[in-house]
Amino acid sequence: MLAIAPAAAAAGGPDAFPGAAAAYVVLADGQPLWSAHAGRALPSASLTKLMTALLVAEATPPEAVVTVGPNAARARGARMGLAAGAKLAAGDLLAGLLMRSGNDACIALAEHVAGSEARFVARMNARARDWGLAQTRFANACGFDAPGHHASARDLAALAARVLAVPGLARLVATTRRTVHGVDGRRYELANTNVLLGLVPGLAGVKTGYTARAGHCLVAYARRDGRDVLVVLLRGRDRWWDAVAMIEQAFERAGAPPRGRGG
């Protein structure tokens, strides 16, 4: 399990990748190697769904049946393709939320857990305060651009570590493809938006994000020969190539073979 030492994460590190992102942080075995503006509050796009997934997994068993409401069915952006009235298991909607980044799944789960998205968002903000995520504030459950909706790379690294500590969520963020079915038998084919899965040795998640204000965002986690590397990029210039470079150099620095097998 990835563990981030709070004092170490707060310390940051030198900027080894200038211009790669508006903010980034690279941690190896929970210790910061390199960073730039890691404490700066920026739009978090669908990286927001890391908190959503944590609260849903905590509140709802995966086998619970969720009925999709009209608000979820109307959700814009990335979608599973849910229609109002559809019924799916909460665990399958979590797969749609984390893998496909489905905003329809996101709102359906938020409404199921808290009765409304607004009440769910209040829980998200309360939990952010409880966990000491000082630069994190949510205005919605999915990551849509909105005034006051933001997080820092450092806070998102801490959230990602919490997601990876929950076995069911850790499996989902590492899954490339999955087929789920509604209660009515309808099939939903899910492909993970993280194109690095299956391409970077040891890669096991975590989440992508994009909006017009946030730009291209990414949290990537890899494990090789007992060593962990976690990368967070906000408003990345070229998130895929830069993340690969950061991961490979971090493992080289940490002493793990750059082409080692994932653990």
Q: How far is CA 213 from CA 45, 120, 143, in A?
A: 8, 23, 11
> What is the CA angle 242-243-244, rounded to 5?
90
Of 44, 46, 152, 207, which is the active-site residue?
A: 46
Of 44, 101, 152, 207, which is the active-site residue?
A: 101
Q: What is the DSSP string of 207-261?
A: EEEEETTTEEEEEEEEEETTEEEEEEEEEESSHHHHHHHHHHHHHHHHT--TTPP
| Spatial distance between the Cα atoms of 102 and 98, rounded to a whole number of angstroms | 8
Burial class (CB in 10 A: 0-12, 13-18, 19+), 172: buried
35 carries an active-site annotation: no
Which residue(s) pair with 211 in the sheet? 215
Burial class (CB in 10 A: 0-12, 13-18, 19+), 156: buried
87 carries an active-site annotation: no
Of 35, 44, 49, 152, which is the active-site residue?
A: 49
3-class DSSP state of 157: helix
Q: Where does the chain have alpha helices with state H? A: 6-11, 49-59, 70-73, 90-98, 103-114, 117-130, 153-164, 167-173, 239-254
49 carries an active-site annotation: yes
Which active-site residues does the annotation give?
Answer: 46, 49, 101
